[in-house]
Amino acid sequence: MASESRARPTTETVGASATQRSRTWTVTLRVWLATAGATLIVLLLIGVVSHRFVERALREVHEARLANLLDAEESMLDLMRPGDGGKALLSPRSGVAYVFTRDGRIAWTSAAQGAASLPQELLAAIDTPGRDAMRLEAYPDAAGAPVIGAARWLARHERGIAIELYADRAYAPLAAFDRSLAAVAVLAALAWTAWLALLIRRRGAPRQFGAYLLDRPLGEGGMATVYLAHHALLKRPTALKILKLNRLSDELVARFEREVRLASQIMHPNIVEIYDYGHTRQGRVYYAMEYLDGLDLQQLVAAGGPAPVARAVHVLRQLCAGLAEAHANGLVHRDIKPQNIMVCVRGTEHDVVKILDFGLVKSLTAPDTRDLTRDVRILGTPLYMAPERFRNPGDVDARADIYSVGAVAFFLLTGRDAFQAADDAELVQRIMNEDAARPSSCAPQPLPVELDLLVTACLEKRREDRPQRIADLIEALDALAAARRWTQREAADWWAQHRRLQSGHDHAP
């Protein structure tokens, strides 16, 4: 046995859905911020570590390079004659060579216009004979250009030699590396910003299914989700039922299409009207129906308790009228339950009943629906299913709907189900073998004998013992309504009070 929850268009779920959407958006935004922040921190750490690694490697390279240049200059100085004055010194690429005296004055330089004395940063070489002085941090030369340098004092020559390299060229790889990291950070920031913009756009811009734009979710079942939508051109509010992606099996798509096809054949004020059917290029299947402003019977009883007799008769009369139209078209609903019966406000008219969800509808005349349901599982809500549906799910007729009407009437009048059980197995056993209690024994209000007997008759185990036609129920309900009339004033007052209470609940701290 499988029990399937039905999605239905109802305004009572809008507040919860909007709240859930807001929470989902908040969570998504927090995830985005956390991810972007973590990525930024990781990039910064990578940048700092990588910068230091590259800088340290370059310092080691330049330290060795400056030492090699000093060795070359020393060798050249050893080869010169005493009177040459060091004029044959090599001129290093991207730098300047110096020969200096003990007091730091420049004896010769490879630069066209050199400094008069050795830079202070390299004077330490004079005080540390036999050891090179290295300045690998950039300092200004005589012309103010940033350089790095090294010096060595040669006691045998009574001279010192020094090399300066331009820092911007020496550390050009580090600058290029930093620019690359900055570019990666900028690209990451742009990517995260684009993602955020896309999230905002997706949140603000409605998705489109055919000619319909989604506004917000209204309800969800195991098979489909119902959204409030509007026609892109006509702007008419619409309830859009969309089959879930994870339910796109051939069997369920066939059921979905059959539901639309059969339900659209019934034109009656008490049956939800089907506007359109279609599927997207991505394979999403949907249909559009009228948007209903109201409550299902489950919500109605939860909000106000068992319905007064006059209101219950008013609701049941419309329910039976809608079923009468379906039965006249050879269709059995097979899933009549409080959640599939909406009580709506239609303009200035209150307590208009609409029958929803023809997902389990059976045609008594079309052979294709018999094929689809021949080996079908027992689908529906056991509390409102006729006993014969458990014995042979495919062998049902209009009297199965009459049983469900009796179970719905019992719930509407008493605020409880006709059978109580700990689990489905016990529930089915009781439905098949035990008589239901009379509504008058459970209702918190006096019930007319005629109504009590009518509901009890609908709940008979043998379908031969129930009223045989839905028209019989309509006649009996018409007689009850004549003595107990539910007025539009009473209905309007109830809805006004309900909405005041709902509004106060929504704004309560």
Annotated catalytic sites, by residue? 335
Of 371, 461, 454, the closest CA to residue 412 belongs to 454
d(CA 202, CA 196): 10
Any idea what the Cα angle at residue 358 is, between residues 256 and 2, rounded to 5°? 75
Of 161, 163, 155, 165, the closest CA to residue 100 belongs to 161
Type of residue at 40: L
Q: Are 196 and 203 in contact (CB under 8 A)?
A: no
Q: Which residues pair with 97 in a beta bridge?
A: 163
Q: 68-85 in b/e burial notation, b at 16+ Cβ within 10 A?
A: ebbebbbebbeeeeeeee
Length of the chain: 509
H helix runs in 80-159, sequence order: 124-127
Token pair of 240 as six digits: 């859009």
Of 163, 176, 174, 161, the closest CA to residue 94 belongs to 163
Report CA-CA distances (Å) from 368 to 372, 374, 393, 483: 6, 10, 16, 45
Q: Are 480 and 342 in contact (CB under 8 A)?
A: no
Long-range CB contact pairs, 66-73, < 8 A, 24+: 66/132, 66/134, 66/148, 66/149, 66/150, 66/163, 66/165, 67/132, 67/150, 69/95, 69/97, 69/150, 69/163, 70/132, 70/150, 70/151, 70/152, 70/161, 70/163, 73/97, 73/161, 73/163
d(CA 56, CA 499): 72
Report CA-CA distances (Å) from 466 to 457, 462, 477: 5, 7, 15
Q: What is the DSSP-derived secondary structure letter of residue 80?
A: S
Q: Are 173 and 152 in contact (CB under 8 A)?
A: no
User: Which residues 6+ apart lie within 8 Å of 231 measured at CB?
Assistant: 211, 212, 213, 238
Of 378, 219, 372, the closest CA to residue 299 belongs to 219
Q: What is the DSSP-derived secondary structure letter of residue 307?
A: P
The three-state secondary structure class of 133 is strand
User: Which residues 6+ apart lie within 8 Å of 505 measured at CB?
Assistant: none
Q: What is the DSSP-derived secondary structure letter of residue 262?
A: H
